[in-house]
Amino acid sequence: MFKQYFIQTWAQLKQHRLISVITIIATALSIFLIMLVVMMDQVKVAPFSPESNRDRFLHVKYGCITNEKWGVGNTSTGPLSLKSATVLYKSLETPEVVSIYCIAPLPMPLSIPGQSLITADVLETDGDFWKVFDFRFTEGKPYDQTAIDAQQSVAVITESMARGLFGSKKDVVGREFLVNYLPCKVIGVVKDVSTLATTAYAQMWIPFGVATENCLEFNSWENGLMGMTSTTILAKDRSDFPKIREEAKRKLKEYNTVIAEQGYEMVDQNRPYDQEKQSINIAWNYEVEVSHARRQKLIIFLILLIVPAVNLSSMTQSRLRQRVSEIGVRRAFGCTRAEIVWQIIMENMIVTLIAGAIGLLLSIAFAWIAAASLFAVPYSFTMNEATIDFSILMHPSTFGYALLFCFLLNLLSSGIPALRAARTNIVNALTGK
């Protein structure tokens, strides 16, 4: 049966070549545009190394603090201090592991005596950072809390930084260099990280305190309550999110009891946020509504589907007018209206899938070529352009979305013409009316 559909579809494509070419191009461009929008949204939430556990992430990027002396409505917002992050989130018992790190990678000079300086995005972290994120090590290993407690000047660098410093990405573990003009030793080398990994991205990772003007000492305010650190919580399972938030609320209540002696109160805006909510969070002291953001995306997808579907529907109707006699003959020999509708939809589905495959390939190629502008990270701390690889674009959900949109587009563009064709009077159909 399905083989017959392919044969009939191929015959129709050859018989009406101009309309067929226009239909395929229009459908391919529609899928191309929709998939670009999907990819731009997907890179914010879909898992990829080193953020493969995004479905189990909870983030506390910022905090908000008030003081009774400032008056109603006056707040100080920004990242938390190491002390606040430790008390509020590091001490949580429900999660699998909790990591505290600098809010963003900072540009620092790197050098080897006798060579020119190069600049790298350097992120300061704790030892649990490597348990939360799954970096792909090509050499060496990460530092742990023991190395931090011993104040070891060690670093994990990317392959590109290894080539920039030592001229090779291999056999560099144990070699020394200067970071921010202080001696440091390479302890591990990892694959380059995309800037789209907005939490884990850097070109070099060092323990807290290795650099002089680090995020703990360089910026701290409000009696050490606010600072330059953020927190990512890795839950054992997504079902633990409510329990983790409840425990965090208790910690916050206890913390506020202590800092109330100085007139302060910490406001969490219902943090920690999961990956989706964090990706659409645009303000430090404002809680976004995920449902509102989802409605906006749904409206965009509907517009991108309905507008081309209307045009494609007219093309489908045009092809069916030339098949009226064929439909009449089939109806005269006992073919039911449901069978007619099913055949038309299936034939159109084959064309849509062919065009959809072309559109998907075009969207992936365009996303790869125009990654720097298409996936630019807003409010980014790095001057480096957005980078992307096929492991991000070729995600299983990408194919799922493409197939779904092909199905919906086919249903919207061929459903009504198919019903109208099936309802044609047999006598009128046989006479070509």
CA distance 120 to 105: 9
Residue 286: the pLDDT is 75
CA 304 to chain centre: 20
Query: Residue 127: is it exposed, middle or buried by C-beta count within 10 angstroms (0-12/13-18/19+)?
Result: middle
Could you say which DSSP state residue 75 is in? E
Biggest alpha carbon–alpha carbon distance for the chain? 92
Nearest residue to 405 (alpha-carbon basis) of 274, 304, 263, 275:
304
Contact status, residue 195 vs residue 382, Cβ threshold 8 Å: yes
| CA atoms within a 13 Å half-sphere pointing along the CA-CB vector of 212 | 7
Residue 73: the pLDDT is 67
Contact status, residue 234 vs residue 242, Cβ threshold 8 Å: no
Cβ-based neighbours of 303, under 8 Å, separated by 6 or more? none
Q: What is the pLDDT of residues 77-128, one digit of tens each?
A: 889 998 899 999 999 999 999 999 999 898 889 988 878 889 999 999 999 9
Q: Three-state SS for 136?
A: coil
Contact status, residue 229 vs residue 101, Cβ threshold 8 Å: yes
Residue 69: the pLDDT is 81
Could you say which DSSP state residue 345 is in? H
Residue 114: the pLDDT is 78
Sign of CA pseudo-dihedral 56, 48, 189, 228: negative
Residue 249: the pLDDT is 95
CA distance 338 to 108: 69
Radius of gyration of the CA atoms of the chain, in A: 29
CA 312 to chain centre: 31
Count of residues making up the chain: 433
How far lies 202's CA from each of 52, 155, 321, in Å?
16, 12, 60
Neighbours of 42 (CB within 10 A): 17
Asked if omega into 308 is within 30° of 0 (cis), the reply is no
Q: What is the pTM of this model?
A: 0.84
Contact status, residue 234 vs residue 53, Cβ threshold 8 Å: yes
Residue 101: the pLDDT is 95
CA dihedral 321, 322, 326, 331 (to 10 degrees): 0
CA distance 229 to 324: 70
- Report residue 80: phi and psi, to 5°: -90, 160
CA dihedral 77, 80, 83, 85 (to 10 degrees): 130
| CA atoms within a 13 Å half-sphere pointing along the CA-CB vector of 102 | 27
Element (H, E) at 127: none
Residue 200: the pLDDT is 94
How far lies 309's CA from each of 10, 20, 346, 407, 411, in Å?
22, 15, 16, 11, 9
Cβ-based neighbours of 94, under 8 Å, separated by 6 or more? 235, 236, 240, 243, 244, 247
Q: What is the pLDDT of residues 126-166, one digit of tens each?
A: 999 999 999 999 999 999 988 888 888 999 999 999 999 99
Contact status, residue 281 vs residue 292, Cβ threshold 8 Å: no
b/e 73-112 (16+ beta carbons within 10 angstroms → b): eeebbbbbbbbbbbbbbbebebbebbbbbbbbbbebebee
pLDDT under 70: residue ranges of the chain: 1-13, 71-73, 211-219, 317-334, 378-383, 385-386, 416, 418-433
Contact status, residue 290 vs residue 277, Cβ threshold 8 Å: yes
